[in-house]
Each structure stands twice: as C-alpha cells, then as structure tokens.
Structure 1
C-alpha cells in the first residue's frame, strides 16, 4: 500500500541551505576522497553535520524497515518509529493496509502518540485534543471564535508505506526509489514459506548502543569478530563470510563440517522447492540486498546450544525443522534470520551521531503457546547475549573514532560486505549532495 507524502525538509535545497557553504564543501570533499577498502574517516562517525546529512540523504530518502506484520495484526494496531529528528506512526487500517503518518500534531507540533506500540481508533493529541482519523485527516479541533478555520488543511503529514512478505517498510521521500519493488520480488519467494502473517511477537528487545549507526551496520556485515560470540557459535558456523583459501587453521574442521551441512541442506531445499541460492547486490542497486539459505551447526534447526529447535511449531507450510536459516541483509538498516521454528528481525534506528537504537523482535507461529511450545528464555538467549556482545564491540569502535590518533584501517577480505555497505552509503549520499 502507498500513501502520499509531503516532506519539504527532505529537499536537497533545504539540506544545502541548512549547512554553511564551507562546511558543506568540506563534507563533500570527505565523501569524494573516501579511501576504498578502508573504514571511514572519523567525522563520518562523530560529526553532527554528517549525521544530519545521513538523516536527509539516507533515512529521509530510502526505504527503511520499520516492523513486521506480527506487530500490527489488527486494524488500529500501531507502532511508532523514531530515528534522528523524525517520528512516524505505522498504523494498520481497516482495509488491512498500512498508513504511515508523521507523529507531529498540526497544531503546535506535539507528539500525537507517545507509546512505542498500542492500539487506537482515532488519533488524539494529548495537548489540546486535536483528533485525527486513521488516515490522518483532522476530524476535531475545538476552535472557539474561529470562523475561518478549515480542518481539511491540517491533516497529519503522510509518508509512504509498503508491505512485502510480512515486512513493513516506510519511506519519507517525495518520490521513493523505484527499484525497491524489484528487490521485493527477489526476497518474497525466500520468505513466503515462513508465512509471517501467521506469526506473533514472542519478545521484543530495544538496546541503545553508544555508537554511530554506521558502526552498528558495519559490525553486522562481517563475522571476522564471531569468535567473540560463543553462544551464537554453537549454531552459526563462524566461517560465515569466508571462502576457500581464507579459512584459518583453527577453523578448518568447522569449514569442512559447514560444507557438508550446506550440501545436505541444499538437497532438502530442492526436495521441498525452497530457494536457497545466494543473491547478492549490496552496492550495485539502490535497494541493496543479500539473501540466501545457510546451514546451521549441530541439529541444524535453530539458534540453540545444540542446534535443536526452540519451538515445537513449524512456521507456515514448512515440513521440516532442519532447514537452517534464511539470512537477509537489506540496506540501510536491517537484517533478518528466518528459521523453521521462529524468525528474528533486526532494525537499526539512529538517535544521534553517537547513539543508535537496535530493535530485535522474535516471532513464533501464531498458535504457539509459551511454556508449552517454547521457552521464552531459551528462545531469546542466543541473540540477547550476541546483541550485548555486539553493543560492546561497536562502542569500542566509537571510542576509537573519537580519538585524535584514529585513522581509517583496511578491511580484510572476509569483510567484503562491510566495504559493500560503505560503498552503498557513499554512493547514495553523493547522489543526494549532487
């Protein structure tokens, strides 16, 4: 579903005029001189002006993963999504579609909805009770003595919303990137067997990481650091991202085991008609993507100490628990794991140049019963621990970027997806600044 957008703050002219010409020229030069194959210069991670550009050029122009359909199962259900200076209301409407509204009252700018999630009929601002329909139309505003007040001129501003394979995306650009439709056609067949509309939220975790959002994304795009994830390494092969010739001696046995498990997984996928091939265009399309189905260690079923299933309920029409994980990366703010027994979604929402909210959501079959079909602590344990470890890693990097002696270091060959993310980011910002 799409709704109209009216967001003058995103215009290039507004962005250019909001920064001094000399400062904008310096920043433009930083992008032009970026050293390929290396981490970014410190200002990319520390400068409020560059963060402001990121909010305009990336989060103000591109499709952002906001939520799953499991978070909005019924009409009137909503989530609020905040990043940088923006706040959006993502609302399930009576027709089953999604309305995306700016969470800014048209009277004096108060937040209309203050909870992160909930259910509502009309939207009522708590300041002066201006009341809006789920479509954002102003339907009530007491205006004593006002004879020329036209309510039709003061509806909530809208943004674009799209729903694909149970995932909800938002975009604030006047004209959103057109190729997202093609990217959705790529990932929909991979996700369809998991049937996200028939899932429910088991748990959601919000972590604020004291680091720039790009450091959070860089950390996710490689497994060079995966020795620091002991809980995850029980099921996720720590050789992820490696190829023949790059495997260190201490991981050779793991590599062989992974190779055998992947071959067995691909045979099962062929038997069930489930796509598994790697599709990767992280920086060669505007809506960058990487997706594949990959084997897990142990029993090969889920993120547990022995790889055994964590929920007794299969998702969708899947007929086998031992189907590894479908892993998907989307630029610029999300990654996902789709397993036979549950799904984990990750969304990154920048707060400022040195703080980022990471939202992790665990989904299970909508008829799964906590305590009978799954143990919530066991279901969430691996990624809760991994998230805390990643938080520590990216905060170390932020501390380094703040140091006067920091300079960009080279990415290793196994970190090629980090380079792809940074290359995508630089291309998009340069297009916007141009």
Structure 2
C-alpha cells in the first residue's frame, strides 16, 4: 500500500499590518471545523498580540483572594503578558489596583511578588516619588512649584471583589461584572468563600501557548492516561459520569448544597457580559473529596451539613476556573506571558477559622492538585513541542468527551474573525 505524501505546514507570513490581516483571514478561511487549530495559531507572535489586545485584555481575571492581603499596605502583583498591576489593601480596607508604572519616568514601583508597603506608602525606587495606597501622589521631590501632583497619581486598574475573590480588568471598557457576582453568590457564596482563607499558592510556568493549556483544562479525555490520582476519585472522563452524579445525589443528597447549572461560556456575548459556567458532578469510588483516598482533609465549608460526595465547577471568562469541594476550594488561573509561555496559578482555600495542624494538614489538602498541575504542565509542554514540528497537521476532536474544547475553539475562531476585520 503506498504511503500518503507528507504535507508540511506552510509558513505563516505576517509582513506589515495589511498583509498580516489578509494572511490571517486566509488562515481562518482554511481552518476546518472539528479539527485542532493550524500551527500559526499556536506559535505566531503576531497572532498572539492580536489575541491579547482583542480577546483577553477586556476580560475579568481572578487574581487572588482578599485573605492574601489582610492588613492595610499588604500587596501582591498580578502580571499579564507584559503588564504588571499592584493589588493593595487601602487604609479604608478597600482593595485597590494600580498599574505598576511610576508616573515620573515609568519605572516599576514594586518588584517583589508580594509584600507590605512600609509607612502606608508605595515608593518608586528610582527617584523616590511617593504614592498613597489609593494611588494618589503624596510627594514628588524637587519638582517645580507649578507641578500638578493631583494629575500624576498611579493609573487605576478596574477591580471588583465577589465572595472574597479579587478580579481585575485591564481595559478601558470592561465587560459587565454583575453576572459574575451573581454566579459566585449562588455557588462560591454557599461554600463560604467570602470568609475563607488561602493556605497555599503555586505558580507553574508552562512553556506553551495559552490555548493549548486551556484546551487541556476543559476536557477530561486525557484524565485517565495522564492523571491516575485524579481519576481515582473524580467521575469526569468516564462514560457514565451523569449516572454516577445522580447516584451520589440520591445516596447523600441530605447533606448537599443546592446549586443550579449555568451555561453562558464560550459563546458570542451580545450584551458585553462576562462569560460564566457552572456544573456539578459526583465524586467516584465513594470518594467524598479530592484527596489521596477520597476522605475529607479539612472542615466543612459554608452551608453543607455533611460531605455530600459532589463537587462544583465554575468558570469566569476563558482563563479562570474554580473547584468547590465540601472541605476546600481551588482557584485556577491561566495567565498568558508570551506566545509560548503561560503561567498557571493554583490557590487553595479552606474555612477561615480552620487551624493548620489541628483542623487540616496543608500537604494533604494540596496533594492532588499539586500532582495534577505538575502533570498538566508536562503534557501541555509536550503538546507545544509537537505542534511546533514541521510534521504537525490539525487532528480531530473526540466527540463528546472533547466537546468543551471544540466549543472553546469555535468561540476563539469567531472572535478572531472579528478581530481580523477590525
């Protein structure tokens, strides 16, 4: 039987603005439905730049939990692509967000990922301009008398807080946030996330395009071969997931929290709202939570009267995913840093009054998602290496187990078609 000829990926040309738009339009026209993206969508710097400016900058990003900055002056940095934002607790208890760019000559003000603003001020290390925690300029040394300090405060960044979660939006016209607040009230609110506390955070730097990381996140086709620890206690990725969920509800429903599904994710938003998604699944093999052995590892959270053997998945936009178990929560954030580099952040929450060493063991609470996140880093990086090969050609998605990945790609192509025409 004769071999099929090898069809190598044609190079993507991006000379000049007009040429780039034309070549991108041709690439979009050639994209076949039901297949993974063509290679340039995963490794073209020009396409990545268009994505950041047109698809991602105006989304809401969950950057942390209020318990990470308990006192006035406590801060941490959020870094997205080449941008850096200071998230700081103000004197009045409010959470402020400022561009990490001095209004004098543009130096970064904070270089440490987290810390405390001594004396209740932020000081630029270059020329010692001093800013209050609300971003206003307090002192600019040796400037002339006519200098207007009131017009030289730090550039503000849009910030919202819902159920203890801090969200930022780096655009001038952010999407409507109320739908996010309503969704979180009906989900994370019932688990007491507003009064929870962070017990651990991890950052995994993935050498891969953000879309490969997202494609992996929203499907469980890979869970069996890649995540044996996850698969021992989760029903996802099995052909009878819905049946397991219903059986779990029937067996332990008296302990449960009532949460309704929501599906407004990865579709064309017509009113400028942020995309949200909620679904609930049963654990597997009589597990009660996501731990080694499936047994509880922390006190009950929120309104639950017992461990119901269910877990809740929540999405906000494309880059923020959340998991709520009966005894702990996990926040997942994907942050694009370059065309082939994505930061993956995982934050673990427990009940606010829980004491380490008495009510929970941090290693046991974080065990499963530390292992799973490390495995995801490895498989997504291997995916990027393969996609970069001259032998790569788009392959088919498995239906229905990769349906969310296909849906994400359909949304992406629709958004990019609009961006190419702008």
TM-score, scaled to structure 1: 0.86
How far apart, CA to CA, are the structure 1 residues paired with 2:16 and 2:96? 32
Q: Residues 123-161 of structure 1, C-alpha deviation per residue, up to 9 Å, x if partnerless?
A: 1111111111122111111125x2332212221111211
| Matched residue, 1:138 | 137
SS of 1:231's equivalent? helix
SS of 1:193's equivalent? helix
CA contact (8 A) 2:98 2:154 kept: yes
Q: Residues 187-236 of structure 1, C-alpha deviation per residue, up to 9 Å, x if partnerless?
A: 42111111112211111111101101111111001000011101111211
| Matched residue, 1:105 | 102
| Matched residue, 1:278 | 261
- Structure 1 residue runs of 4+, over 4 Å off? 266-269
| Matched residue, 1:197 | 194
How far apart, CA to CA, are the structure 1 residues paired with 2:33 and 2:189? 37
| Matched residue, 2:372 | 386
After the TM superposition, which of the residue ranges 340-349 and 318-327 deviates more from structure 2?
Answer: 318-327
| Matched residue, 2:47 | 50
SS of 1:350's equivalent? strand
Summarize the alignment of residues 214-363 of structure 1 with structure 2, pairs less than 5 Å apart. 214-227=211-224, 228-239=226-237, 247=239, 255=240, 259-265=243-249, 268=252, 271=254, 274-286=257-269, 287-311=274-298, 313-363=299-349
Q: Residues 235-266 of structure 1, C-alpha deviation per residue, up to 9 Å, x if partnerless?
A: 112435xxxxxx3xxxxxxx38x724533326
How far apart, CA to CA, are the structure 2 residues paired with 1:36 and 1:329? 24
Aligned residues: 399
Question: Could you say if the C-alpha distance between residues 185 and 238 of structure 1 is closer, same or farther in structure 2, counting changes exceeding 3 Å?
Answer: closer
| Matched residue, 1:156 | 154
Question: Could you say if the C-alpha distance between residues 238 and 177 of structure 1 is closer, same or farther in structure 2, counting changes exceeding 3 Å?
Answer: closer
Aligned alpha-carbon RMSD (Å) = 2.2
CA contact (8 A) 2:164 2:195 kept: no
How far apart, CA to CA, are the structure 1 residues paired with 2:169 and 2:297? 35
Give the C-alpha shift of residue 29 in structure 1.
Answer: 3.5
SS of 1:379's equivalent? helix
How far apart, CA to CA, are the structure 2 residues paired with 1:295 and 1:264? 6
Question: Could you say if the C-alpha distance between residues 279 and 197 of structure 1 is closer, same or farther in structure 2, counting changes exceeding 3 Å?
Answer: closer
Question: Could you say if the C-alpha distance between residues 318 and 399 of structure 1 is closer, same or farther in structure 2, counting changes exceeding 3 Å?
Answer: same
CA contact (8 A) 1:300 1:322 kept: no
How far apart, CA to CA, are the structure 1 residues paired with 2:415 and 2:69? 31
How far apart, CA to CA, are the structure 1 residues paired with 2:168 and 2:411? 19
* Mapped pair 1:403 → 2:400: no
SS of 1:158's equivalent? coil
Question: Could you say if the C-alpha distance between residues 34 and 164 of structure 1 is closer, same or farther in structure 2, counting changes exceeding 3 Å?
Answer: farther
Question: Could you say if the C-alpha distance between residues 323 and 95 of structure 1 is closer, same or farther in structure 2, counting changes exceeding 3 Å?
Answer: farther
Give the C-alpha shift of residue 19 in structure 1.
Answer: 5.6
| Matched residue, 2:3 | none
How far apart, CA to CA, are the structure 2 residues paired with 1:400 and 1:25? 27
The one of 109, 114, 125 aligned to 2:111: 114
CA contact (8 A) 2:158 2:168 kept: yes
Q: Residues 66-93 of structure 1, C-alpha deviation per residue, up to 9 Å, x if partnerless?
A: 2122323333332211111111112233
| Matched residue, 1:9 | none
How far apart, CA to CA, are the structure 1 residues paired with 2:67 and 2:215? 28
SS of 2:402's equivalent? helix
How far apart, CA to CA, are the structure 2 residues paired with 1:102 and 1:403? 38
Question: Could you say if the C-alpha distance between residues 74 and 293 of structure 1 is closer, same or farther in structure 2, counting changes exceeding 3 Å?
Answer: farther
How far apart, CA to CA, are the structure 2 residues paired with 1:80 and 1:429? 29
CA contact (8 A) 1:70 1:197 kept: no
In structure 1, runs of 5+ residues without a counterpart are: 1-17, 241-246, 248-254
Question: Could you say if the C-alpha distance between residues 372 and 19 of structure 1 is closer, same or farther in structure 2, counting changes exceeding 3 Å?
Answer: farther
After the TM superposition, which of the residue ranges 200-209 and 94-103 deviates more from structure 2?
Answer: 94-103
Question: Could you say if the C-alpha distance between residues 103 and 266 of structure 1 is closer, same or farther in structure 2, counting changes exceeding 3 Å?
Answer: farther
The one of 170, 173, 193 aligned to 2:171: 173
CA contact (8 A) 2:209 2:342 kept: yes
How far apart, CA to CA, are the structure 2 residues paired with 1:373 and 1:164? 26
CA contact (8 A) 2:292 2:367 kept: no
How far apart, CA to CA, are the structure 2 residues paired with 1:25 and 1:141? 48
CA contact (8 A) 1:262 1:295 kept: yes
In structure 2, runs of 5+ residues without a counterpart are: 1-14
Question: Could you say if the C-alpha distance between residues 273 and 295 of structure 1 is closer, same or farther in structure 2, counting changes exceeding 3 Å?
Answer: closer
